[in-house]
Amino acid sequence: MTMEIAGAGALLTILRDGRARTRAELMELTGLARSTVSQRLDALLDQQWIIPADDAISSGGRPAAAFTFNAGARVVLAADLGATHARLAVTDLTTQVLAEHSEDVAIADGPERVLDWLVTAFHRLLAESGHTLDQVCGTGIGLPGPVEHETGRPVNPPIMPGWDGFDVPARLGPRLGVPILVDNDVNIMALGEHWAASPEVEHLIFVKVGTGIGSGIITEHRLHRGAQGAAGDIGHICVPSAAHVVCRCGNTGCLEAIAGGGALAAQLDVANGREVVRLVRAGDARAIQLIRQAGRDLGDVLASLVNFFNPGVIIIGGDMADAGEHLLAGVREVVYRRSLPLATQHLNIRSRQLGDRAGVIGASVLMIEHILSPGTVDLSVASG
């Protein structure tokens, strides 16, 4: 890495991840001259991205020697919009939740109604958190369907009538006056779980087992979206045991058609996946047997993914994850039996840690990673 050209943004990254905290350490790590380091630190101090570390403040009139990242420099508005339920939060720049709200909102009401509601709800929540709009650096939003991340437009979302191609940032941007980033809900959950639970993990697969099944892929600490943003759609991978089952996508043999919460609910003659979880928790033998088999079917697909992608961690999330060990046991049984020993040697398969909050935390991460990327920080410093 050519540290000689490290700008203010690169210095901020180094201070954030703790590789250096003093002027001297920054000079040594980057190879920059003292005057250049000082100039860039002044710019970061000016924008409040960093503050002098406590021990430096007490050193009298001399310029501070050590610095820390200022997590309270700006706040983020985050939203996880599901099919029938929305969760919103105001967070600081480390995803610490300062205020949050959840409410039943039907995504099928269409983009105008839902996004107008979102603006009003954000304003209320921001006031509740004691902040104002000029302290907001951006808004991260998750939607329950495929999204073209570059433009923030949903693409043929199956459960979102009226949203296809809708320009979400264009609707929200003028009213909030901040950058808007939009992504698929499973992707933001993967970001959230990665950030909160496994920041040291480089390669991770997050699997959402809800009514349907999808996954978010993190590689080298970054979300892998694929060429069209469709990466991770594992619910429609073909599995042998589903050979003659017709899926909602029109194909036969999809994983989701036998192992999704919707498929299990149909077999148990209950309303939805949450009811299936309730039966499992109540000790219903047939429900337990079905969820365990769903775990094995999911394990079949994951075993192939493990050989192909070699993740360090697989996290099972979504409503069905609340069925706990029964689902995980099925997954582990097949993955450890079927995947290559080298790929499973240090593989950790576990349940989600953030619960219902994974999406909203991930929406915050989406914006934080953008706003604190070296290039964006350099721009903010140049224009400030």
User: For binding to Zn ion (CB under 5 A), which residues are involved?
Assistant: 236, 247, 249, 251, 254
In whole angstroms, how close is the CB of 304 to Zn ion at the nearest point?
A: 17
Cα–Cα dist 368/11, whole Å: 16
Q: How far is CA 314 from CA 281, 297, 318, 333, in A?
A: 23, 15, 13, 14
Q: In whole angstroms, how close is the CB of 97 to Zn ion at the nearest point?
A: 35
SS3 85: strand
Closest separation between CB of residue 332 and Zn ion, Å?
25
326 neighbors 282 (Cβ within 8 angstroms): no
Q: Measured from the CB atom, is 26 or 259 closer to Zn ion?
A: 259
Q: Which is nearer to Zn ion, 185 or 256 (CB)?
A: 256
Shortest distance in whole angstroms from residue 253 CB to Zn ion: 8
Long-range own/partner contacts, residues 338-342 (CB < 8 A, 24 or more apart): 338/299, 338/300, 338/303, 338/304, 339/303, 339/306, 339/307, 340/306, 340/307
Closest among 159, 181, 121 to 376, alpha carbons compared: 181
Least Å from the CB of residue 252 to Zn ion: 8
Q: How far is the CB of 257 from Zn ion (least distance, A)?
A: 6
- Compare residues 84 and 251 and give the one whose CB is closer to Zn ion: 251
- Pick the closer one to Zn ion by CB: 259 or 328: 259
The residue type found at 17 is D
CB 120: neighbour CB atoms within 10 A?
11
User: Could you tell me the smallest distance in angstroms from the CB atom of residue 179 to Zn ion?
Assistant: 35
Q: Which is nearer to Zn ion, 196 or 249 (CB)?
A: 249
Shortest spacing between CB 258 and Zn ion, in angstroms: 10
Distances (CA, A) of 131 to 75, 88, 137, 169, 179: 8, 15, 12, 22, 17
Query: Which of 216, 196, 150, 173 has its CA nearest to residue 370?
Result: 150
Counting Cα atoms < 13 Å in the Cβ hemisphere of 315 gives 27
- In degrees and rounded to multiples of 5, residue 217 shows phi and psi of -115, 125
* Closer to Zn ion by Cβ: residue 31 or 158: 158
DSSP assignment letter at 158: T
Specify the residue, 121 or 249, whose C-beta has the smaller distance to Zn ion.
Answer: 249
CB of residue 150 vs Zn ion: minimum separation in angstroms?
Answer: 26
d(CA 350, CA 353): 9
What's the token pair of residue 277? 């979880």
Q: Which of 208, 236 has the CB closer to Zn ion?
A: 236
309 C-beta neighbours (distance < 10 Å), count: 16
**In this complex, which beta carbon is closest to Zn ion, that of residue 86 or of residue 254?**
254
The end-to-end CA distance of the chain, in Å, is: 27
Q: Which is nearer to Zn ion, 90 or 254 (CB)?
A: 254
Q: Phi and psi (nearest 5°) for 11?
A: -65, -40
Closest CA to 184 of 234, 222, 141, 129: 141
Q: CB of 133: closest distance to Zn ion in angstroms?
A: 42
